[in-house]
Amino acid sequence: MPQYDYDLFVIGAGSGGVRAARLAGRAGAKVAIAEQVQIGGTCVLRGCVPKKFFVYASEFSQAFRDAKGFGWTVDWARFDWPTLRDAVQNEVNRLSGIYATNLGAAGVEMIDDRVVVIDPHTVRLTREGRSVTAERILVATGGHTTRPTTIKGQELGITSTDAFVLEALPSSIVIAGGGYIAVEFATIFSGLGVDTTIVYRGERILRGFDHDVRAHVQADLQRTGVNIICGSTIEDVSGLSHGKKLVTLSNSMKLETDQLMWAIGREPNTANMGLESAGVRLTERGAIAVDAYSRSSVPSIWAIGDVTDRVNLTPVAIREAVAFVETEFHGRPLAFDHADIASAVFSRPPIGAVGLTEEQARAKGHKLKIFRTNFRPMKHIVAGNDQRVLMKMIVDAASDRVLGVHIAGVDSPEQIQLAAIAVKAGLTKAQWDLTCAVHPTGAEELVLMGEP
């Protein structure tokens, strides 16, 4: 008789949980995965995937303007919100179905329930009202959007989760926050013709990215009509007629808006889950504290993905899942290396970034050579589009190693994936320069930056 009901019980069927369950199932383990909402999690249902579709939709307005420079007439262009919203919902539901099929094919039992931890080897299915045991428990419960609960009238605003399923496209929107989700939604809404305002408490949007990139994107969003109010917060929200809202800022400014969106950060899903009483240590931010192998303070409980608040990105949750299964089900201890993870912001223009920013490299004591180029891409010249590309390379002066690459410009999320291979491999600037350019492209500038 086996001692436990399952070899592995996974809580949360998002990017990390699904990958871990599938791989462990394929390795022959008896696995169950529980999901309280819908299989797929944040990325598939209310994050990366629907967001990217919305970004694509928002880019057509500029593409139609650009087309005129190339001889096209597109006077008939109209946008229909329900068509986009419903097509995206259909697609994410299709993807959710594929995830479920793949789990089934790996022999994983899927449980539609909210689960809490009872002790190091027991979880409780709260709707079914029964408990099951497992040799290992993997917590992959992700995170959730937050609201400023102390602000009067905050409930009149929406979050990113609501934005994907709005009944109608607003005529105007105020977005509170300056992180990548706020900036991406400002890009989306303004591209779809919505009068868009960002209100951010910091002095410049996109904290954590390289300062030149932040300035470049902020200036371009402003150039293309996004109103950005920095150094200010929302203090009060009140309802007006026809669903409109009056938003009062800390600088006394009052904004009348059709819609208000909170994009002020996300928090790990650890509340009311029985974790602390089972002995699982949480960080100050409420995330599960784990070691390099994603093991919590309880030896039989692991945690991966956003609930650990390390680097909150889908590919990271997936790699942590892979490392966990390698370690526990294949006997090959593997710790995922969180250094030099590339990331993208689908803003206008988009950002691709990998490695250290100039500020981080200086703080670490590196003497630097900074290579920078700023140009108007070929296509934009004939289109009459003033958007420019900024590329910046951070190089350690002593070793010549490229420590970071930061691009703000068209196609940069695609370019950075390849640049990330070279940064992760620790190549020197001289090695980058040995690479022959591909002409005519924007990316060729990455191997042509001659003078620091």
Question: According to the binding rule CB under 6 A, does residue 175 interact with ligand FAD?
Answer: no
In which element (H, E) is residue 199 found?
Answer: strand 195-200
Q: Applying CB under 6 A, which of residues 174, 228, 247, 313 lies at the interface with ligand FAD?
A: 313
Cα 60 to its chain centre, rounded Å, is: 22
Contact segment (CB under 6 A) with ligand FAD among 31-39, 229-237, 291-299, 443-451 equals: 31-39
Total chain residues near ligand FAD (CB under 6 A): 34
The helices-and-strands tally (H runs, E runs) of the chain is 12, 21
Whether 349 and 191 have beta carbons less than 8 Å apart is answered as: no
Q: Coil, strand, or helix at residue 302?
A: strand
Query: Does 37 engage in binding with ligand FAD (CB under 6 A)?
Result: yes
The verdict on 187 binding ligand FAD (CB under 6 A) reads no
Does residue 181 belong to the site contacting ligand FAD (CB under 6 A)?
Answer: yes
Q: Shortest distance, CB of residue 111 to ligand FAD, whole angstroms?
A: 8
Catalytic residues: 439
What's the token pair of residue 91? 């697609």
| Angle at which helices 48-69 and 180-191 cross, to 10° | 40
Q: Which residues have C-beta within 8 Å of that of residue 110, sequence separation ≥ 6?
A: 13, 32, 33, 35, 39, 100, 103, 104
**To 5 degrees, how large is the angle CA 75–CA 78–CA 81?**
165
Q: Quick check: helix, strand or coil at residue 31?
A: strand
Pairing, β 351-355 against β 343-345:
antiparallel
> H or E stretch including 103?
helix 81-105
Structure tokens at 429: 């600037």
429 binds ligand FAD (CB under 6 A): no
> Binding ligand FAD by CB under 6 A: which of 172, 257, 269, 296?
269
Instruction: Determine the interface stretch with ligand FAD among 93-101, 171-179, 286-294, 300-308 (rule: CB under 6 A).
Output: 300-308
Q: Token match 């986009």: residue?
A: 84
Pick from 315, 374, 431, 447 the residue near ligand FAD by CB under 6 A.
315
The region of 28-36, 235-243, 252-260, 428-436 touching ligand FAD under the rule CB under 6 A is 28-36
Name the segment binding ligand FAD (CB under 6 A); options: 58-66, 80-88, 137-145, 195-203. Answer: 137-145
**Distance (Å, rounded) from C-alpha 308 to C-alpha 316?**
11
CB of 148 to ligand FAD, least distance (A): 17
Minimum separation from the CB atom of position 416 to ligand FAD (A): 12
Q: How far is the CB of 402 from ligand FAD (least distance, A)?
A: 23
Pairing of strands 31-35, 109-112: parallel
Rg of the Cα atoms in the chain = 24
Per CB under 6 A, the segment of 33-41, 62-70, 205-213, 332-340 that binds ligand FAD is 33-41
Hey, which residues does 396 pair with through a beta bridge?
A: 368
Residue 194 CB, nearest approach to ligand FAD (Å): 17
Q: Decide if residue 409 touches ligand FAD (CB under 6 A).
A: no
Question: Quick check: 413 binds ligand FAD (CB under 6 A)?
Answer: no
> Angle 314-427-346 (CA atoms, 0-180°, nearest 5)?
35
Site string for ligand FAD, 7-26 (x = CB under 6 A): ----xxxxxxx---------
Q: Are 124 and 115 in contact (CB under 8 A)?
A: yes
58-97 residues near ligand FAD, rule: CB under 6 A: none
Q: What is the contact surface with ligand FAD in residues (CB under 6 A)?
A: 11-17, 34-37, 41-43, 47-48, 51, 114-115, 140-142, 160, 181, 269, 273, 305-307, 312-315, 317
